[in-house]
Amino acid sequence: MLRIAVPNKGSLSGPAAEMLHEAGYQQRRESKELRIVDPENEVEFFYLRPRDIAIYVSSGRLDIGITGRDLLIDSGANAEEILPLGFARSTFRFASKPGTAGGVEDLAGMTVATSYEGIVAKHLADLGIDASVVHLDGAVETAIELGVAEVIADVVETGTSLRNAGLEVFGEPIMKSEAVVIRRTGANAEENAESKVQQFLRRLQGVLVARTYVMMDYDCRVEQLERAVALTPGLESPTVSPLHNEGWVAVRAMVPAKEAQRIMDDLYDLGARAILTTAIHACRL
Ligand SMILES: Nc1ncnc2c1ncn2[C@@H]1O[C@H](COP(=O)(O)OP(=O)(O)OP(=O)(O)O)[C@@H](O)[C@H]1O
Ligand SMILES: O=P(O)(O)OC[C@H]1O[C@H](OP(=O)(O)OP(=O)(O)O)[C@H](O)[C@@H]1O
Ligand SMILES: [Mg+2]
């Protein structure tokens, strides 16, 4: 049975459960459940604090886990990212009251408050900057107002929390994060769970594709076919079928959902007609 760590709270928890559900896995019904078995898929899910997931996975007791890239790196655990999942996207940045620091070089001698001490201490050490780091559990934006630190380093998504605290970012982003699937570093193809791990990854990849692509169908004249398929190359190559009306073909290809409207306009301008898009619910590439 494959043993998988899933975030039990916070920004990662809801979207992770939703993605697993879309991939056909049973998920817990109540937020207090600590573990569930999905016997049909031969998987056991453990609901753990996102911050602890890399530690469990690195211990080898759990095969894989879903966590944030920033939490993985901050933990320093012996685990690595094997699939980015595209949700809980954020940047990790320094921020302060305007006028405190123009760039990271100004941090020498200052105190930085953060919940991600591992990332910040390493970043400062790599840059050779001698600053103190104070660990706080959350709501670090308030640390400056209350005099605990001059600078914070925190997760920034929309920037609303910073604005509300009268703070602004400075310097380059320290890192970009999103939810990721992780496994123990050095876990290899000989392990018993390997085929199950690969099947799990294919299912999640299927969800990612279904979320980012749509299926597009259209009819066009044979003379326009080459120009039309250049707009819709598909993943391998588009399917082209003859129509009953001579001189016309039907084309079917997957296209990125974000570009679908522009591609439909361009196809129409080329002379293609009956242009349809339909959602993809699941796939294996
Ligand atoms: N506002 C946000 N937008 C996107 N991702 C976020 C946001 N806040 C935190 N994250 C991401 O969520 C993960 C942290 O999860 P965690 O559950 O520890 O914190 P949280 O979501 O802030 O929850 P809480 O503060 O309630 O404990 C990190 O990968 C972080 O980058
Ligand atoms: O840029 P924004 O869209 O405002 O998002 C970023 C904020 O979201 C998270 O806070 P959360 O609400 O989880 O509180 P916390 O600081 O206690 O973790 C994070 O720690 C930032 O404070
Ligand atoms: Mg938080």
Tell whether ligand 2 has an atom less than 6 A from the beta carbon of residue 161: yes
CA distances for 245 relative to 84, 167, 249, 279, angstroms: 46, 65, 8, 28
CB of 160 within 6 A of ligand 2: the answer is yes
Residue 107 Cα to ligand 2 middle (Å): 23
**Residue-level pLDDT at 285:** 84
Among 155, 161, 178, 182, which residue has the most ligand 1 atoms within 8 Å of its CB, making it the best to mutate? 155
pLDDT value for 189: 61
CATH code at 214-279: 3.30.70.120
Whether 182 lines ligand 1, by a CB cut-off of 6 Å, is no
Ligand 1 neighbourhood includes 162 CB (under 6 angstroms): no
Look at residue 271 in the predicted model and tell me its pLDDT. Answer: 97
∠ CA(212), CA(172), CA(100), 5° rounding?
135
Q: Assess whether the region 2-87+178-187 and the region 90-176 belong to the same CATH fold.
A: yes
Nearest to 149 by CA among 183, 114, 115: 114
Q: Does domain 2-87+178-187 have CATH number 3.40.190.10?
A: yes
CATH architecture for the domain at 90-176 = 3-Layer(aba) Sandwich (3.40)
pLDDT at 171: 96
Ligand with the closest atom to the CA of 50: 1
Q: In sequence order, what E strands does the chain have?
A: 2-7, 35-38, 43-48, 64-68, 79-84, 90-96, 111-114, 132-135, 151-156, 168-177, 179-184, 213-221, 239-242, 248-256, 273-279
Ligand 1 atom nearest residue 161's Cα: 1
| CA dist., res. 89 & res. 132, Å (int) | 28
Which of 196, 212, 219, 227 lies closest to 260, judged by CA?
212
Query: Residue 222: its pLDDT value, please?
Result: 97
Measured CA to CA, the distance from residue 68 to residue 66 in angstroms comes to 7
pLDDT of residue 187: 81
User: Each residue of 269-279: pLDDT tens digit?
Assistant: 999 999 999 99
**Can you give the pTM of this predicted structure?**
0.92
pLDDT at 186: 86
CA atoms in the 13 A half-sphere facing the CB of 23: 24
What is the model's pLDDT at position 199?
Answer: 95
pLDDT, averaged per 10 consecutive residues of the chain (285 residues), comes to 97 98 96 97 98 97 97 98 97 97 96 98 97 97 97 98 97 98 85 87 96 97 98 96 96 98 98 97 90
What are the domain boundaries of the chain? Answer: 2-87+178-187, 90-176, 214-279
